[in-house]
Chain A
Amino acid sequence: MARYGMALDYKNCINCKACEVACKEENGVLLGADKHRIWVGVKEIEGEFPLLSIASNTFMPSQCQHCEHAPCQEVCPTHATHYDENGVVRVDPDKCILCSYCMNACPYDARYVDDRTMTVDKCNFCSDTRLARGETTTACQATCPTKVRIFGDLDDPNSEISQVLRDREHFSLKPHLGTKPKLFYLI
């Protein structure tokens, strides 16, 4: 029993997409540009050459936020989407009927359709691969060149993530929606 979350030192991100590839290779995510569990968000730069706003060009790594109050879980008619014993939002492929309510409900656009398993899929913190083998990092964290990610148990006060969240300021995405994401962006 744990309560897994992830802190992102997003200022380190160089938008290299190593995390996306590692995730696909680890979890057998389908090929295709629209099939991904994680991604890096980039905004169009502000200004006109040569006067450009450097600050407007940030890279925001993102994925399923593993909300404590997950809208996708609330709308799922078959309980395919559920919280596992570690607070990870998971999808049961046997129960998913591809109604796509969850895709519409997710405020973070975290879900996509896996055409092979006919499931609405998304990040599961490598629960059925790395964590199932007893490993303690996700594929995206392990591979990241600039070490953006810290994965761990939010309930363990001695975990690295708990320590970093105590020591550093951070924010969540769309906090006003009350979803209580478990991804934390470090300032």
Chain B
Amino acid sequence: MAVEISRRRFLQGSVAMTVIGGMSMAPSNLFSNEKEHGELSITTKTGTGEAKFVPTLCEMCVNKCAAIARVEDGVVTKLDPNPMFPKSRNMLCPRGNAGIQALYDPDRLKYPMIRIGEKGEGKFKRVSWDEAYDAILNGTDKFPGLAKILDEEKDNRSTIFFCAGEGMAEHTFKTFYTGFGSSNWLNHASLCLRTVVSGYGVTLGAYPQADLENAEYIIMAGANRAEAIVTPDTMDFFKRTKGRGAKLICVDPRFTNTAAKADKWLPIKPGTDLAFVLALTYVVVMEELYDKAYVEKYFNGFKQYKNHLYAEEYTPEWAEKITGIPAEDIYEIARDFMKHAPKAVYYPGRRSTFAKNDFQLRRAMAIFQALGGGIDTKGGLVFGKKLPLKGHSAVAPMYAQAEGVDVARAKGKPGYSDCAIVSGGGSWIGFRNRILEGKSVYPVRGMFLYKHNPMMNMPNVEKTAKFLKGLDLIVTIDTMPSDTVMYADVVLPECTYLERTDPVKTFGGPEPSIAVRNKVIDPMYETKPVIDIMRGLTEKISKPLFEITKKYDEDVQDDIADRGEAEVYKEFDLTIPFEHSQEELNEHAVSGYPGAYEALCKHGVFYPKMEEYFKQVSANEHVYYPDDEKAYSVREGKPKTNSGKVECNLANIAKKGVDPMPTWRKEYEYHVPEGKFRMLTGRHAQFTQSGTANNVMLHDLIHENYIWINKRVAKKMGIKFGDMIEVSSEAGKTRLKAYPTEKIAPDQVFFIHGFGEESEALTWAYRSGGNDNAVIVDEIEPVYGGAVMHSTNVEIRKV
């Protein structure tokens, strides 16, 4: 949702927004009210009597698939797919089905709590909401509140930072951050898809979708759509693989479920995809297989790129030595891809940053794709259409005392440079380490954390723990007592997604639509939706914090002298964005479309002419738009960059020390010392990171994660299936059981992310399997500051 910000005035120098990110929860015996686990049987058979049906949107991962909740006697007994949503195409994955167990998880956070033990100990006291808000403002004998911190820091709002995990209500929390006036916002971007979004963004002007419903030839490299489900890609694609219209080349160091669906699987050496793409590009350019008309019309810097490829001699023979992929395969794939272009896709993927060269890899992928003309076209990469929503008002006061990196530089203090470009989500690792190393230009003392679990979600857990222990005030808003919640001073329990209405959202693509998460049942225990939490909190803190601003902010003092306090306070009143209910805000957001709000309440989905277009073809198939109404091509192939061209050569980033064209460097080469293993991490269809770790139903499907070790290597080391293995690196250690398999190379190991929680309040997740981030070294990607996940070498031993 767009925000129309009412600016107070333009100060001399704006407060720069830096970036951060994460997600999480906390425990004690306040948590689980039924510890007699083991005997738990909490599935509820659906009945045949009366039931209520509520259309909602799933929050078990980031996809936001449409579901219909079945409610019997006030109990949610089943979540079924909502067939009307074009994005999720009438399906719910295992996690979506298991959403009921997130709602009825006995370990849920149920009441507001404040810390009574040592930080990180997980000892809390149940309090009322008002007491919790009061503790945030005034502190307790255990921790200082906002009033004390901001008074000591002379109203430098940036001493408090904010971070949020991805979610539909992230926006609501961010509205609070905007009003609060800190320059430090961190989200999951630098731990997730920052480099891919940015790489495509600067090259094509947007991060496009792939039309896997119509593409004939797909290279899926470092993306695992059979296990890391993305809608509609996963559903569109795997109906067409295996000789049924879509040829799949899977490039992955491991043999994944996606590889099992491939026509060809190429086990590439980790972190060398850039060399693979450069060689593909070399073949296509040298053999002149590219779409000459498209390149002529829509490329900037093609000649320079061509000369660069030749000068550096990025031949398939060169790439074979680096990637381990035979040169003949590279020739064949380059030729086949262009034969099928523009109905050929080098799949952009999502995922976190795997290697230091990830930004350049994404640029090279985007350029390679564009050489075939498969941009903004059916069967290629598509920009699609989006149905605009109306924004709402927010409060964005300017606090003269707030510091930011730009402000610091203007004052002659050293700034910082974790990475070349500071983007809207910050560099989490850069931020954390800077504070740990005492390099921050001002003290950072408190954090507000929404649906974010830094203890699990970023490399080097030991450093994160130290970082959290060093903060004076931690406020967490979450549904579960995560590892991070254990470090909180104040815990505010949010209700789950099935108990709240969230901001309405528009979903772009060839078949655009608007969808909403409607509240299915009332919040359980004393939990609340984040918008209600923000309303209660701002009512408590807005006025007292303004008093501190009045004390230190000369601009505000002058302004009050001119206009009177009441007028000035209006611009600092943090309660304003939360005056309306979510339902009212949603009704306003879609008020430009007649009948939309009613349709969203009834069906959960709306798009113009839905009544006319939406048809059920069979039990499994639905039509959302007629073929000629699908927005495959909206710009006749023209890229969305400012120049309207594919940018091969970015001279402006060269000034920041970044290669202007995708370039292979010696330091990117794959190397594992004798006796060590390259540590790989990844996703799984039954788990969403640490967010679903305590879901009893999903836990049934995967009890714990196992470490993949090559079978022959395991045999040599005397390791059998199920043996306990200690994995260690310079960052730390973790333990989990062994899975010897031929699906991985002899010098690599792999285990899925999201396991190995240390929070005792998580009955099922506690110490179940191993935590990848306990061993992954905190290296950052130099352009956007993304966490590099695949560059750590580890040792393993049987214990």
Contact = CB atoms under 8 A, between A and B. Distances in A.
A26 B78 contact: yes
Interface stretch (B95-103, B295-303, B434-442): B95-103
Given A16-B93, A31-B700, A49 B710 contact: yes
Contacts of A137: 619
B94 A21 contact: yes
A109 interface: no
B555 interface: no
A86 interface: no
A12 B257 CA distance: 12
Given A26-B45, A142-B80, A145-B229, A21 B697 contact: yes
Nearest to B242: A11
B697 A24 contact: yes
B768 to A, nearest CB: 13
A150 interface: yes
Interface string B68-91: 000000000111110000000011
A78 interface: no
Contacts of B710: 49
B41 interface: yes
A25 B242 contact: no
A152 to B, nearest CB: 8
Nearest to A114: B41
B260 interface: yes
Given A45-B743, A160-B618, A29 B43 contact: yes
B235 A147 contact: yes
Contacts of B97: 18, 21-22, 25, 143
B164 interface: no
B748 to A, nearest CB: 9
Nearest to B254: A49
Nearest to A50: B267
Nearest to B260: A57
A73 interface: no
B682 to A, nearest CB: 15
Given A16-B226, A27-B45, A33-B703, A50 B619 contact: no
A145 B234 contact: yes
A25 B43 contact: yes
A129 B43 CA distance: 14
A160 B618 CA distance: 8
Interface residues of A, number: 52
A7 to B, nearest CB: 11
Interface string A134-152: 0011010111111101111
B238 A18 contact: no
A107 B235 CA distance: 32
B46 interface: yes
Contacts of A31: 40-43, 696-697, 700
A52 interface: yes
A54 B262 contact: yes
Given A30-B41, A31-B697, A25 B260 contact: no
Contact of A16 (B42, B94, B743): B94
Contact of B98 (A21, A50, A144): A21
A146 B685 CA distance: 13
Contacts, number: 162
B106 to A, nearest CB: 13
B33 interface: no
A176 interface: no
A84 to B, nearest CB: 16
B76 to A, nearest CB: 10
A133 B242 contact: no
A18 B96 contact: yes
A100 interface: no
B94 A20 contact: yes
Contacts of A147: 91, 235, 239, 620-621
A32 interface: yes
B439 to A, nearest CB: 44
A62 interface: no
Interface string B684-704: 011000000000111011010
A22 B698 CA distance: 12
B336 interface: no
A54 to B, nearest CB: 6
B248 to A, nearest CB: 10
A137 B621 CA distance: 13
B468 to A, nearest CB: 34
A15 interface: yes
B577 to A, nearest CB: 37
Interface in B241-263: 241-242, 244, 255, 257, 259-263
Contacts of A30: 41, 43
A48 interface: yes
B545 interface: no
Interface string B583-609: 000000000000000000000000000
Nearest to A141: B619
Contact of A143 (B44, B91, B227, B685): B91
A45 to B, nearest CB: 6
Contacts of B697: 21, 24-25, 31
A146 to B, nearest CB: 5
Nearest to B77: A25
B746 interface: yes
A64 to B, nearest CB: 17
A137 B685 CA distance: 23
Contacts of A25: 43-44, 46, 77-79, 97-98, 100, 697
Nearest to B79: A25
Interface string A116-133: 100000000000111011
B59 to A, nearest CB: 16
A58 interface: yes
Interface in A1-38: 9, 11-12, 14-18, 20-22, 24-33
Contacts of A152: 619
B48 interface: yes
Contacts of B387: none
A83 interface: no
Contact of B700 (A9, A32, A45): A32
B142 interface: no
Contacts of B41: 30-31, 116
Contact of A17 (B47, B90, B235, B686): B686
A15 B226 contact: yes
B408 interface: no
A167 B260 CA distance: 26
Contacts of B698: 21
Given A20-B701, A33-B700, A49-B267, A28 B44 contact: yes
A52 B743 contact: yes
A101 interface: no
Contacts of A150: 619-620
Nearest to A136: B619
Nearest to B264: A54
Given A24-B697, A141-B620, A49 B45 contact: no
B260 to A, nearest CB: 4
A29 B42 CA distance: 9
A59 interface: yes
A133 B48 CA distance: 6
A16 B225 CA distance: 11
B345 interface: no
A116 B79 CA distance: 23
A47 interface: yes
Contacts of B42: 31
A26 B44 CA distance: 7
Nearest 10 A/B pairs, CB to CB: A28-B45, A21-B97, A16-B685, A14-B226, A147-B620, A57-B260, A145-B91, A21-B94, A50-B267, A18-B94
10 contacts: A12-B238, A14-B261, A20-B701, A24-B700, A26-B45, A45-B741, A47-B742, A49-B743, A133-B48, A152-B619
Given A14-B238, A25-B46, 13 more contacts: A11-B241, A17-B94, A21-B98, A24-B700, A32-B700, A52-B265, A57-B255, A129-B47, A139-B80, A141-B619, A142-B81, A142-B90, A145-B235
